[in-house]
């Protein structure tokens, strides 16, 4: 694919940022999106310094007007949309299920589930019209297994996997692929929050990973680039666990 057009939500930190940099190094045209204007414009400038055409468009994926706007701006700027990476997400408050609240559910599901649904909706519209495209949703191993103390987050990522499979079935005949990447522990700020900022908790978690370490964000980005490429042209409706062997146990 010649200089594909890439849209990444939740692009300002962690996996999203690593993915934006990876696509830029491959010569893609990249639109990065997130809620923080200053960081977004700085990232776009960094991508341009790598030789890529890049733009920042502010969007909060909880709101359909924002999602529609970022997709429209991408198409207006570059004429098409080849790859969409839906990375915006939150872990919310981690607690036993008997302590979970409706407010925490609303916070997590509005970003992880509604945000993914709205993103796929508007990205798919463009790609169906083109007759091509690859959508990659960010799930988690929590979308494939259960985790004590994280019931609402786990439920949200199971929902992301369901949206992924259903959208894949709707897009397959038209040449639009929809897949998910399901990372295990990744060395990001979210992992630090997940373990409560405790080095001891983090070490305990990583000891349960067969590879005995967290992934680097760049390692997740490499899988996303593969799913976006023509090398994965017969791959759709799948969730690929990139987890150092965790879910093989």
Report, as residue numbers or ranges, the catalytic residues: 153
Please tell me the distance from the alpha carbon of residue 80 to that of residue 140, in angstroms, as a whole number: 29
Write the Ramachandran bin of 240: left for phi over 0, alpha for psi from -120 to 50, otherwise beta: beta
Cα–Cα nearest to 15, from 142, 183, 158, 194: 183
Sheet order of strands, 5-9 included: 54-58, 29-34, 5-9, 83-86, 133-138, 176-183, 239-242
């Amino acid at each position: 694919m010649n200089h594909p057009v890439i849209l990444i939500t939740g692009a300002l930190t962690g996996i999203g940022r690593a993915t934006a940099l990876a696509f830029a190094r491959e010569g893609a045209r990249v639109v990065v999106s997130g809620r923080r204007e200053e960081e977004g414009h700085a990232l776009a400038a960094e991508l341009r310094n790598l030789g890529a055409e890049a733009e920042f468009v502010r969007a909060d994926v909880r709101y359909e007007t924002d999602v529609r706007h970022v997709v429209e701006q991408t198409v207006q700027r570059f004429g098409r949309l080849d790859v969409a990476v839906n990375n915006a997400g939150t872990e919310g408050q981690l607690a036993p299920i008997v302590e979970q609240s409706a407010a925490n559910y609303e916070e997590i599901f509005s970003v992880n589930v509604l945000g993914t649904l709205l993103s796929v909706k508007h990205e798919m519209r463009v790609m169906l019209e083109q007759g091509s495209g690859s959508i990659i949703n960010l799930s988690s191993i929590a979308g494939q297994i259960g985790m004590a103390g994280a019931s609402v987050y786990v439920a949200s990522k199971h929902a992301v996997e369901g949206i992924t499979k259903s959208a894949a079935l709707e897009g397959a005949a038209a040449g639009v692929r929809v897949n998910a990447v399901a990372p295990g522990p990744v060395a990001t700020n979210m992992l630090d929050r997940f373990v409560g900022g405790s080095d001891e908790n983090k070490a305990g978690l990583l000891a349960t990973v067969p590879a005995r370490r967290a992934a680097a964000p760049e390692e997740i980005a490499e899988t996303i680039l593969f799913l976006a490429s023509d090398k994965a042209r017969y791959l759709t409706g799948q969730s690929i666990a990139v987890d150092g062997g965790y879910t093989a146990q």
